[in-house]
Amino acid sequence: MAVKFWWPTSMPAQLVLVQNFKAKIGNYASALPLTAAQVTAAVELCDAFVGSFNAAEQCRQTMIAMTKWRDDIFSAEPVGAPSPAAPVFPVVGAVTYTLGSVTQFFKLRDLIVASPGYSQAMGEDLGIVGAQVIPPSPDQMTPQFKSVSVNGATVNVSGSMQGMDAMRVEYAPNGGSFRTVAFLTNTPGGFTLSPEKPNQPETGQIRAVYIKRNSEVGNFSANYPVTVA
């Protein structure tokens, strides 16, 4: 069974993970086991991540306010009225900051996973193991286009192939029947649609279904409107 990588890609999600880890790591000190010094170091590492994240975010918000303050000084009314005080940037708190905190956190995570008292349930509670990726059953496979763009008679689409061999694309002009217009083995991909009346715009819809070993898999996608010329 495939497993997602445990460390999130977005910084806000990383912050949530680190905060959860900090709140719970002390509960597992004796089971792992971790010394009191190791727990203290782990908490300080979390504080460094959280503190630096929050300080940078507060400074960003202050910079937005500072820019507005400057613009008001330049052009706000009533002309000649006293200006409000300038925004003040936050003071970074008294936290022990060291370089490479994320790398240190990864090493701490590896230490915990290798500890004799470690368990899967413990890792899940601390947020340091990825969730299992359960693939959809074949009858639930439904293509979804992330984007559909048209340039003249060329239609470009993007979306996940979900491990399938191909995606069969069908087109129907408004009021007409669907017909196969392309087989895509990779996305993004493109294909050409020719209007029934040359050089006249034609509006219709495209849809797709996955192909595996020359057989349809799952359901047709939603219909996506297109206008070709």
Could you read off the pLDDT of 148-203 as tens digits, one per residue? 999 988 999 999 998 899 999 999 999 999 999 999 999 999 999 988 888 789 99
Q: Tell me the whole-structure pTM to 2 decimals.
A: 0.59
Burial 54-76 (b: 16+ CB within 10 A, else e): ebeeeeeebeeeeeebeeeeeee
Could you read off the pLDDT of 91-145 as tens digits, one per residue? 887 788 999 999 999 999 999 999 999 999 999 999 999 877 677 787 889 999 9
Q: Give the C-alpha separation, 181 to 221, whole Å.
A: 15
Q: What is the CATH number of domain 138-228?
A: 2.60.40.10
- Return the pLDDT at 140: 84
Provide the residue ranges of all domains of the chain, joining segments of one domain with +. Answer: 11-126, 138-228
Q: How confident is the model at residue 223 (pLDDT cuts 50, 70, 90)?
A: very high
